[in-house]
Structure 1
């Protein structure tokens, strides 16, 4: 059995907890990989996060950002999230219970009893390219936010025109991501048990309200009227095609697999500011 650990960069508390979990797992004869940054803080060799799809379980220690960072590299490997602050939507564990829960999950994994829940991811694709998979959202936008940096959009769902006009961009969010960037842009909350993608235009001149569509929907966005466009996956610019260009957004083939106890959705909602 192989367990990977990814800790928040530059965070001493995360690094200390990672070392504690590493030691306890090794005492239980579990092979452990640390990501490169965490391993460097403890004077041992580490592994790139992109290689951790070889693990049976990955522990992400830090917060939702650390979870998303780990998720970009681990493929379908289950991720157990440990939040050093408030328990979030992706990280159901607090630091006080982390060591015990990781050991419990390792035993369950060894016995073939690991319970995971799956959440959809999204990918964007254009001519000759496909983006990494997004846990939260994919944003298609102009060169910058604001009236001087927008882009002309034509948005279609399964071939039917949904909206067109000038906007800062358009955001497609998973149920998990509906509580993140989408929410700050006035988008709808989606309960994690609902199979939907939220389409949300960003500061549109005359746009449509946010729309929830099925996970099997194909979203096609034509971008024109700007010197460049950006494809932003979970907050990271991954592609900058030159308009006019067409980008398709769909559900990824591999979902994110989340280990550990379920986050209580409505309790977590009450902690949003």
Structure 2
């Protein structure tokens, strides 16, 4: 079995725990691969995060940002999230329980060849210009080069070929339930329980906004952007510059993310938003 471990960059506690997990797990049946930065900190060889999908399990140690970073390279490999003392929306395992919980998942795989996990959707964005961005666990954002007065984008939004909204805005955000507590919430979008089978569309500081829309994920969303020299499409914080005019299609990726281990208590985790 191959286990990948990604620790929060620059965090001594995370790196120390990663090293402890590596020493605890390594035996004739388990090979452990640490991300490059963590491995360098510990004085050993590591692998790039983009190769984490080559493992049977990925362990993320840190906050939700570290989990998203791990997920960017994990593909369909189950991810187990370890927090560093504060319950997050993606990291349900406490640091003091990490060795036990990871060993339980490893033993399950060695016994059955499978890792129990729950699927969560990811979003993808494509354009007429034959480009795409990396699938997003939280959100896809289409925005202007800068935010604020005199910036932003002119746009039309179509859902299933019917116009939903148009005008000028700082940007347009489409989120998964997993991401509803992140960028979506800061833009006035609703909190959505992770068990809800839906997506959220939120206009960002629009001139004539529609209310945020929660809709089933089988609907097609197209965003036509016409003005300015270029727009920016962001996927979980990673940005790509897109020449205009362009029509961006946002849809659910064919490959969901898979989360292993215990489920976070959603309403308990909401406390960190206070």
Aligned to 2:248: 247
Following superposition, the deviation at residue 270 of structure 1 comes to 2.5
Task: Give the alignment partner of residue 179 of structure 2, picking from 159, 177, 180.
Answer: 177
Q: Which residues in structure 2 correspond to 1:208-227 (within 5 Å)? A: 208-227=210-229
1:180-227 residue CA offsets vs partner (Å, 9 max, x unmatched)? 100011101111111111000000011101001111111100012222
Render the CA deviation track for 1:85-117: whole Å, top value 9, x for unaligned.
311111011111111111111101112252100
Taking the TM superposition and a 5 Å limit, the aligned residue runs for 1:1-273 are 1-27=1-27, 29-112=29-112, 113-126=114-127, 127-237=129-239, 239-273=240-274
Q: List runs of 5+ in structure 2 lacking aligned partners.
A: none
Q: Deviation at 1:255? A: 0.4
- CA deviation profile, 1:154-182 (whole Å, cap 9, x unmatched): 00111111000000000000000001100
Could you list the runs of 4 or more consecutive aligned residues of structure 1 that deviate by over 2 angstroms after TM superposition?
A: none
- Counterparts of 1:148 and 1:86, CA distance in 2: 39
CA deviation after TM superposition for structure 1 residue 271, in Å: 2.5
112-121 vs 204-213, which moves further: 112-121
In 2, the alpha carbon distance for the partners of 1:85 and 1:161 equals: 45
**Structure 1 residues 28 and 16, CA gap change in structure 2 (3 angstroms):** farther
- Quote the offset at 1:27 in angstroms: 4.4
**Distance in 1, Cα, partners of 2:216 & 2:244:** 28
Structure 1 residues without counterparts, runs of 5 or longer: none
- Alpha carbons 2:78, 2:115 under 8 Å: kept: no
- Asked if 1 retains the 8 angstrom alpha-carbon contact of 2:202 and 2:213, the reply is yes
CA contact (8 A) 1:36 1:47 kept: yes
For the residue of structure 1 that corresponds to 2:163, the secondary structure is strand
Residue correspondences, number = 272
Q: Give the alignment's TM-score, normalised by structure 1.
A: 0.97
Query: Which stretch has the larger CA shift, 254-263 or 85-94?
Result: 85-94
In 2, the alpha carbon distance for the partners of 1:109 and 1:146 equals: 50
CA distance in 2, matches of 1:140, 1:85: 34
Q: CA RMSD in A?
A: 1.1
Distance in 2 (alpha carbons) for counterparts of 1:125 and 1:190: 25
Q: Quote the Cα distance in structure 2 between the aligned partners of 1:105 and 1:176.
A: 23
Determine the C-alpha separation between the residues in 2 that align with 1:173 and 1:206.
20
Shift of the alpha carbon at 1:28? 7.0
